[in-house]
Amino acid sequence: MALRQIAGQKICILTPGHLSTNPRLVKEADALAEAGYDVQVIAADFIAWARNEDRSFKDRPWNKSPKLQFGPDAPFRTRAIQALRQQAARQMVGAGVRWPSLVQGARHPITHDLIAAAKRVSADLYIAHYTAALPAAAIAARHRGGLYAFDAEDFHPGDWPFGPSHAVERDRLRMIEERYLPGCAYVTAASPGIAKAYADTYGIRKPEVLLNVFPLSHAPSGPTQSGTTQPGPSLYWFSQTIGPDRGLECAVRAIRLASSKPHLYLRGNPSAGFAELLYGIASDCGVKDRMHLLPPATPSEMERLAAAYDVGLAGETGHTQNRQIALTNKLFSYLLAGIPALLSDIPAHRAFACDAGPAVHLYAVDDPASLAKAVDRLLSDTATLAATRAAAFSLGQARFNWDYEKAVLLKTVSKALNSSLLLNASRHN
């Protein structure tokens, strides 16, 4: 029996999030569609600003199912059904009932909506992003006779702080992952630490590492000696949410200690009360005029925007297991933008620094004096700053970009689908 061409096979990608909050999924869908796969994406709708940003994906070379609504903006009937369903599931699971459908329903309000939507799509491979989508991918694959896979952008059992306070949530999540992960055709992970943690926790084959890097087309045309943002010199950080446990309080205190007198620029949506907290710290330190909050922007703009600043910051405090072993997307945005990165000394950053050379510098976690010294090493000498920016640009161009990394994805998907075809062929001969 001759194998049919991989190009043209159908792939369904599922997420409980918005497209605009998951650039990793968008890159995956783009790469698979460009390779010739027929790609269908099922996503959610629950945040007003993200809903507006999602419109930018209307002309992508893949298909989009109607978005699944939940949260305050969903129609009342939809909201009521989801809330009652989740509340009932949580009560029964809390009483000791461990039926998979109840555990899944207790975990996320749209798990059952994702399952129903996925079952309506005929695909050869279903790829789940986030644990809430994993049952949908597995059940749809069984229903349609296809394969399913899981992409771990984080180590989800380690999402919560250490200790017993989140034992219930952690238990629900682990019941889902231990049920479905062993049946995956493959698992991908966003860092070596996440891959190892999943393999060790569930006894599955070690996931393929698929770094959270970005296309070369997002990079500037060449390295620059310094940033252009004024007032400067500039220290830059971005995320969807400006909030605690990201080392930002430390950063505000560090700019007071740094002799280079840097300005701190933070891009994102502040969590409730956090902007006031940071401004209070900045005021106490006498640097309120050197802290600037910037509005969120689309993921495709992050590298262009970052290039205008002198140095990037990734200040994770490692307050959860996941935050100790993850490599955040901002790190790779900095390198592709051609700006050096100052990284907190968590395990994932230490391991990465061994391969990154002068493009990254470590400082002690949550230590303003250590961060201030690292800032001054880069910003107090123009030659050093220019050299580290050139090193960062070179690293982004040569290795840490999506044009390089997507080959890992395409090879992994092709291998899984080919193996399935060969197995089916052997069964018919």
Residue 53 pLDDT > 90: no
Please answer whether residues 241 and 271 qualify as being in contact, where contact means their C-beta atoms are separated by less than 8 angstroms: yes
pLDDT tens string 307-333 = 999 999 999 999 999 999 999 999 999
Q: What are phi and psi of 242, to 5 degrees?
A: -90, 105
pLDDT tens string 382-407 = 999 999 999 999 999 999 999 999 99
- The mean pLDDT value for 407-416 works out to 96
pLDDT of 422 reads 58
pLDDT tens string 87-132 = 999 999 999 998 989 999 988 999 999 999 999 999 999 999 999 9
pLDDT tens string 216-266 = 999 999 999 999 999 999 999 999 899 999 999 999 999 999 999 999 999
Residue 300 pLDDT > 90: no
pLDDT tens string 147-194 = 999 999 999 999 998 888 888 999 999 999 999 999 999 999 999 999
pTM: 0.91
Give me the domains of the chain, ranges plus CATH numbers. 10-213+402-427 (3.40.50.2000), 216-398 (3.40.50.2000)
Q: Residue 428: which pLDDT band, with cuts at 50, 70 and 90?
A: low
Of the two residues 419 and 415, the one the predictor is more confident about is 415
Residues 6+ apart with CB under 8 A from 231: 263, 290
